[in-house]
Amino acid sequence: MNIADNYIASSQLTRWLNREFFLKGLSSSFGIGLLACVAIAIGFLASHNLAVIAFASVGAIAAIIVVYYCFFEPVTGYFITMFISFFAFYPNHILNIILPIPTFVELLILIVFFGSYNAAKKLNLPRNSILLTGVSIVFIFYSIFNIVEFFNPDMQSPAGWLFRFKRYMVYVLTYIISYRLIDTPQRFRYFMKSWLCMSFIAAAYG
């Protein structure tokens, strides 16, 4: 199978997933059968005191779907990642359980970055256009400053520098992803509406 066949197959699978999970909302025969199988499996595991494994399996399936969208449909993956990152700490507050959601968000951002690069490559967008913006120039100089700071003999904690630099690179990747994907007025309006909606939910939660 060549590259064109792989791309066609992935596009068909993406359209099928979007139709079954988002447009139909799992209300088709496939969706009902899938939900019935999941319910039976969860009930069986819960009856044998294995509810944690059941819910972990459901979470793993959801994570696989999200990762797929982040790479093959980076625009959809971008908004999914934005939603997860905005409410990343809510499960900890509600369930009183520390979940590695921030680490998962960082992984999703990296996957969306590669997905956006793949999309930009298919559209033959100029690769160096982002380097000509003023924000990019500021990021470049600040990145150089952070790298040079690592060799500062007075630095007491290389682990602390690594943690801070990792968080900084997440911001850089988010900027690059946003530059690549939020490239039309329609997407920008949807971006702003999404943030307003999430902010309203956060304010209502208190």
Cα gap 79→198, rounded to integer Å: 11
Helices 158-181 and 101-122, packing angle to 10 deg = 40
At residue 26, the pLDDT reads 65
DSSP 41-55: HHHHHHHTT-HHHHH
What the block records as the tokens of 2 is 């060549």
For the entire predicted model, the pTM comes to 0.73
Residues in the chain: 206
Q: Which of 99, 12, 108, 5 is nearest to 56 (CA)?
A: 99
* Residue 87 Cα distances to 28, 90, 104, angstroms: 30, 5, 13
**Cβ(116)–Cβ(127) below 8 Å:** no
- Please list, residue by residue across 45-61, b when 16 or more beta carbons sit within 10 angstroms of its beta carbon and e when fewer do: beeeeeeeebeeeeeee
What the block records as the tokens of 151 is 């060799």
* Residue 183 Cα distances to 116, 125, 166, 190, 193, angstroms: 12, 12, 26, 12, 16
Cα gap 75→82, rounded to integer Å: 11
* Residue 32 Cα distances to 25, 29, 184, angstroms: 10, 5, 37
At residue 172, the pLDDT reads 92
What the block records as the tokens of 34 is 């899938």
At residue 123, the pLDDT reads 63
What the block records as the tokens of 159 is 């682990």
Cα gap 174→32, rounded to integer Å: 37
Note down pLDDT in tens along the chain; length 206 residues.
444 455 455 567 767 776 766 666 666 777 777 778 777 877 777 777 766 776 777 778 788 888 888 888 899 999 999 998 888 877 777 667 777 788 889 999 999 999 988 877 766 655 557 878 888 899 899 999 988 888 888 777 888 888 888 889 999 999 999 988 888 899 999 999 999 998 998 888 76
